[in-house]
């Protein structure tokens, strides 16, 4: 495990690589046996290539997708990040039955990353505010009063 500061820098580097679709950097940041415990992970291949496929899926729904780390900290072999994602639904969201409709999304997630001895990320757990995103694209109604 790298030190907490190095692990934080690696997660920040990885998030930039996802935004830039720099998959060589993604492959360098993630361990070969990477496991994602993330909503929708069962819909993509396992490992590093699945993480890349998930990112490409996001771009297919929201071609202008951007993510930014709002808060991040590390302790030991874990890094916790609060990430914001914005974009425009110009590709539709097939798994939710939502056609392309030009609606903007602004949602977030919390992710815990576990780092290997060499500092690469071997495992992540994430919880995304999917209901918020589905409300924003018109796939489900907002609760009363919202």
CATH label, 4-81+110-127, candidates 3.40.50.2000, 3.20.20.70, 3.10.450.50, 1.10.8.50: 3.10.450.50
128-135: average pLDDT = 93
Distance CA 26, CA 141 (A): 36
Distance CA 62, CA 90 (A): 6
Question: For the chain, which residues make up each domain, given as ranges?
Answer: 4-81+110-127
Alpha-carbon torsion 126, 24, 1, 5, what sign?
A: negative
Q: What is the pLDDT of residues 37-93, one digit of tens each?
A: 988 788 888 899 999 999 999 999 999 999 999 999 999 999 999 999 999 999 999
**For residues 54 and 62, is the Cβ–Cβ distance under 8 A?**
no
Half-sphere exposure of residue 106, counting CA atoms within 13 Å on the CB side?
Answer: 2
What pLDDT does residue 44 have? 86
- For residue 48, the cross-strand partners are none
Give the residue with greater pLDDT, 42 vs 139.
139
Query: Model-level pTM?
Result: 0.92
């Amino acid at each position: 495990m790298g030190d907490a500061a190095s692990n934080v820098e690696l997660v920040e580097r990885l998030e930039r690589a996802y935004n830039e679709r720099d998959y060589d950097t993604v492959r360098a940041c993630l361990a070969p046996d990477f496991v994602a415990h993330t909503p929708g992970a069962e819909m993509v291949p396992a490992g590093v290539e699945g993480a890349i496929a998930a990112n490409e899926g996001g771009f297919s729904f929201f071609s202008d997708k951007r993510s930014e780390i709002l808060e991040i900290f590390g302790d030991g072999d874990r890094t916790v990040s609060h990430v914001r994602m914005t974009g425009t639904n110009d590709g539709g969201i097939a798994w939710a039955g939502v056609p392309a409709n030009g609606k903007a999304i602004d949602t977030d997630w919390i992710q815990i990353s576990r780092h290997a001895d060499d500092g690469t990320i071997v495992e992540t757990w994430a919880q995304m505010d999917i209901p918020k995103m589905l409300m924003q694209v018109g796939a489900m109604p907002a609760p009363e009063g919202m």
